[in-house]
Amino acid sequence: MTTRTANTPATQVLGKVGRAREATAPDHALRCSAEVAAGTSGGLAVNDLGAGFGSFLAVDAISLQILPNKITAIIGPSGSGKSTFLRCLNRMHEEVRGAWARGSVLLDGKDIYAAGTDPVQVRRRVGMVFQKPNPFPTMSVYENVAAGLRLNRFGRVPGLDEIVERALVRAALWDEVKDKLHQSGAALSGGQQQRLCIARALAVQPEVLLMDEPASALDPVATLKIEELMRELARDYTIVIVTHNMQQAARVSDYTAFLMMDEDRAGRLVEFGPTDQLFTKPKDRRTEDYITGRFG
């Protein structure tokens, strides 16, 4: 699908990226357009996305493709708007007072920001895991996983036991909690809590899973487990992860987007491409500087 970039001055920065991308990986761009156009579930197409708080512009003119069943990493120095960008993908950004967003984000070809679209439904299809694990402390492990499912039904949910078990298995947590399903969700270790949050997000069967620095609050062992989990999950879900840890991005992701703050303090997309290529042969000088640690 042709990247519908609006003809704004900001696009000229991106034009370089777009051209670069098309020059080096024409087959994947074609595949992308075919898949997304055909409506394969899980692809996100971001077009000229801008977002801010009140009069403050946090990110501007971001356009890229999130490919289905791939892990896309968003990296960049702090303040570059990575989390803001991520939160626009499931319309969580607008929950803060005074926050606004413009542009379009197409999920399966349909713009989630189109007038009349209900954010509640969007969030069902685009799930999110947060930086600090946040299980519901008043609910048991079981109830935490079931929380999303209970929203859409009165009374008993048919087959809930199996759904909960499946979600916990998917999140690589089942073995550790199967005997303590009815203990409080807050009684687990940090890494377990985060996997519980992942299970909770998976239980409602989203198409895309957004992860905002999911391992930054965890110890190295737990982090590794989460990273392994991500690769597993990518088989069935589209994953977008924000991370400040470049090595993690390099280890885990298939595609990487590099965001950076401009002079007007708005975050813009500097470069986007397959991870190996971006890390070994970056197209933009700024990308190279960031990756080699000259700033960050």
Partner 1 sequence: MIMLLWRKSVNRLMGVMTALSALLAAAALLAVLGYVALNGWRALNVDFFLRLPTPVGIPGGGVSNAIVGSLIVIGLATLFAVPIGLGAGIYLSEFGDNRFGDLVRYLADVLSGVPSIVVGIFAYALIVARRGQFSALSGGFALGVMMLPAITRTTEEMLRMVPNSLREGSLALGLPRWRTMFSVVLPMARSGVTTGIVLAIARVAGETAPLLFTAFGNPFWSVDVQQPIATLPHTVFTYAISPYADWQSKAWGTALLLTGFVCLTSLLVRRFSRQRQGA
Partner 2 sequence: MAATLVMLILLLVYELFDGSRLGLAQYGFRFLTESRWDPVFDHYGSFPAIFGTVVSSMLALAIAAPLGLLAAIYLAELAPRWLDQPLSFLIELLASVPSVVYGLWGLYVLVPILRDPIQTGLRARLGFLPLFSCAPIGIGMMAAVSILAIMILPYATAVARDVLRAVPRDQREAMLALGATRWETIWRAVVPYARSGIIGGLMLALGRAVGETMAVTMLIGNRPDVSACLFSPAYTLASQIANEFTEAVSAMHVSVLIELGLVLFGITLVLNGAARLLVWRITRKGAKP
Q: 98 and 66 in contact (C-beta within 8 Å)? A: no
Min dist. Cβ of residue 153 to partner 1 (A): 7
| Residue 120 sits in the site that holds partner 1 (CB under 8 A) | yes
DSSP 92: -
To 5 degrees, how large is the angle CA 216–CA 221–CA 227? 65
DSSP E strands in the chain: the ranges are: 44-53, 56-66, 71-75, 99-107, 110-111, 126-129, 208-212, 238-242, 255-261, 267-274
Q: Which stretch binds partner 1 (CB under 8 A): 55-63, 64-72, 151-159, 224-232?
A: 151-159
CA-CA distances (angstroms) from residue 147 to 89, 155, 202? 22, 12, 11
Residue 182 interacts, among partner 2, partner 1, none and using kind-specific CB cut-offs from 5 to 8 Å, with none
The residue within the footprint of partner 2, chosen from 36, 46, 107, 128 (CB under 8 A), is: 128
| Residue 120 sits in the site that holds partner 2 (CB under 8 A) | yes
7 or 152: whose CB is closer to partner 1? 152
Instruction: Please enumerate, as own/partner, the contacts of 145-149 that have beta carbons within 8 Å and a separation of 24 or more.
Output: 145/196, 145/199, 145/200, 145/203, 146/203, 147/200, 148/124, 148/200, 148/201, 148/203, 148/204, 149/203, 149/204
Relative to beta strand 110-111, strand 126-129 is: unpaired
Min dist. Cβ of residue 123 to partner 2 (A): 4
Residue 12 interacts, among partner 1, partner 2, none and using kind-specific CB cut-offs from 5 to 8 Å, with none
Min dist. Cβ of residue 152 to partner 1 (A): 5
Q: Which stretch binds partner 2 (CB under 8 A): 77-85, 132-140, 167-175, 260-268?
A: 132-140
Min dist. Cβ of residue 238 to partner 1 (A): 24
CA distance 144 to 198: 11
Residue 153 interacts, among partner 1, partner 2, none and using kind-specific CB cut-offs from 5 to 8 Å, with partner 1
204 or 270: whose CB is closer to partner 2? 204
Judging by beta carbons within 10 Å of its beta carbon (0-12, 13-18, 19+), is residue 77 exposed, middle or buried?
Answer: middle
| Residue 153 sits in the site that holds partner 1 (CB under 8 A) | yes
| Residue 110 sits in the site that holds partner 1 (CB under 8 A) | no
Min dist. Cβ of residue 146 to partner 1 (A): 16
First to last CA, the chain: 34
One-letter amino acid for residue 74 of the chain: I
Relative to beta strand 238-242, strand 208-212 is: parallel
Min dist. Cβ of residue 92 to partner 2 (A): 6
Q: 229 and 196 in contact (C-beta within 8 Å)? A: no
Instruction: Tell which positions 143-162 bind partner 2, by CB under 8 A.
Output: 147-148, 150-151
The residue within the footprint of partner 1, chosen from 23, 151, 159, 265 (CB under 8 A), is: 151
| Residue 118 sits in the site that holds partner 1 (CB under 8 A) | yes
To 5 degrees, how large is the angle CA 136–CA 138–CA 141? 65
| Residue 121 sits in the site that holds partner 1 (CB under 8 A) | yes
Q: Which parts of this chain interact with partner 1 (CB under 8 A)?
A: 118, 120-121, 151-153
Q: Which parts of this chain interact with partner 2 (CB under 8 A)?
A: 90, 92, 95, 97, 120-124, 127-128, 130, 132, 134-139, 147-148, 150-151, 186, 197, 200-201, 204
